[in-house]
Amino acid sequence: MKKIILTAMMTVALTVNAQTLMIHEKGGIARYNAAMVDSITFDEQAQMPANIPYTTQMTINAHWCALGTSITYLNDYDKQGRFEKGYMDRTMDQLHFAKMTNQGVSGGCIRSAYDKVIKADYYTIEHGINDWGQFTPVGTFDDYKNRTNNGSFAYWYRMVIDRIFAVNPKAKIVLCTPRKAYGFSGYLPSDCMGDINGVYLKDYVEIIRQIAQYEGFPLADFYAECGGQRDLARMSMDTALHPNDEGYQMMANVLIPALKKVITK
C-alpha cells in the first residue's frame, strides 16, 4: 500500500471512487489508484514523489468554438449514455477554457460549418469523414487558394476559415484531420483505407494538411494518430465510426498539444 504526503502549501480537494483518488491542487490534478492508498499525510517540508502520475491543468481566459461532425456533436448531445466524455471535455480537463461551445453538426459536411461559426477566440475544425461518405468532391489545393467556387471540400474549407477571420480577425485556429473509420452499416467501406467511387479518405486529409502548412495552423492529425483497421472497432461505439471513451481519449491526447501551440496567456 502507498502513503501519500502532501505539502501544506497546496489547496486540496479529495475525490474518491472505487478506482481513483484525484487530488485537485492549485497547479493541477494528481491521480492515484485508490486501492493502493492507505493513508494521506500533510507535511510542510515534503515534496511530491517523482513517480506519481501528475496532470497539470492550464486555465485559459478565452472562448473555444469546436466545429465538426457528429464526433464533435456527441460530446454534449449523446442521449444514450454510451460514453463518459467526448474529446472536448477530455481536452477541457487539461486546457480549461473559460467557455467552450460545441458547434458540431451530426451528419455534417464541411459546408455545414460555415453557418455554425460564432465569435470566439480559439477554433478547431473536425471535418472530412462525412464529406467522404456523402461524396463531396475533394477539389484541389488551388481551389482553396483561389476560392474556386466549385462546391468542393477545398473550396468550402476556405470559406469556413474566411468566415472565422471575418468574425474575429485575431482568431487562433487548429485544424484536425478526420479520424480513420470504416463500415457503419455500409456508410463507409469495410476497410478504413478503402475507397468510395475511387476517392479515399486520405485525399481529404492531404488537403487539410496542405492548408495547415500554407496558413501556419497547428494540425491535430487524428487520421495518423488515432487508430487504424486493427483497433478502430475496439475504440468505437459502433463499427467503426464514432469513438468510445478510449477513442475519444486518444483524440484529446492529439488535440491538446496542437492547441497549446496557439494558446496565449
Q: How confident is the model at residue 32 (pLDDT cuts 50, 70, 90)?
A: very low
Query: Does residue 240 have a cis peptide bond before it, meaning omega lies within 30 degrees of 0?
Result: yes
Q: Are 78 and 135 in contact (CB under 8 A)?
A: no
pLDDT on residue 83? 96
Are 65 and 49 within one domain?
no
Predicted confidence (pLDDT) per residue in 139-159, tens digit:
999 999 999 999 999 999 999
Q: Which residue has the cell 478502430?
A: 232
Are 66 and 178 within one domain?
yes
Are 52 and 68 within one domain?
no
CA distances to 15, 62, 81, 102 from 65, in Å: 30, 10, 23, 6
What CATH code is carried by the domain that includes residue 79?
Answer: 3.40.50.1110
Are 9 and 124 within one domain?
no
Are 92 and 29 within one domain?
no
For residue 65, the one-letter residue type is: C
pLDDT on residue 58? 84
Q: How confident is the model at residue 217 (pLDDT cuts 50, 70, 90)?
A: very high
pLDDT at position 1 over 60: no
pLDDT on residue 37? 53
Q: Which of 120, 117, 188 is nearest to 156 (CA)?
A: 117
Predicted confidence (pLDDT) per residue in 52-84, tens digit:
333 567 899 999 999 999 999 999 999 889 999
Q: What is the mean pLDDT of the chain?
A: 86
Backbone φ and ψ for 174, nearest 5 degrees, come out as -120, 125
Predicted confidence (pLDDT) per residue in 114-129, tens digit:
999 999 999 999 999 9
Residue 8 CB partners (closer than 8 Å, separation 6+): 42, 43, 44
Are 107 and 187 within one domain?
yes
Report the percentage of the chain scoring pLDDT > 70: 78
For residue 183, the one-letter residue type is: G
Are 171 and 213 within one domain?
yes
Are 133 and 233 within one domain?
yes
Are 72 and 142 within one domain?
yes
pLDDT at position 180 over 70: yes
Are 160 and 31 within one domain?
no
Are 180 and 246 within one domain?
yes
pLDDT at position 136 over 60: yes
**Residue 16's domain spans which residues?**
2-56
Question: Is 265 within a domain?
Answer: no
Q: Are 144 and 207 in contact (CB under 8 A)?
A: yes
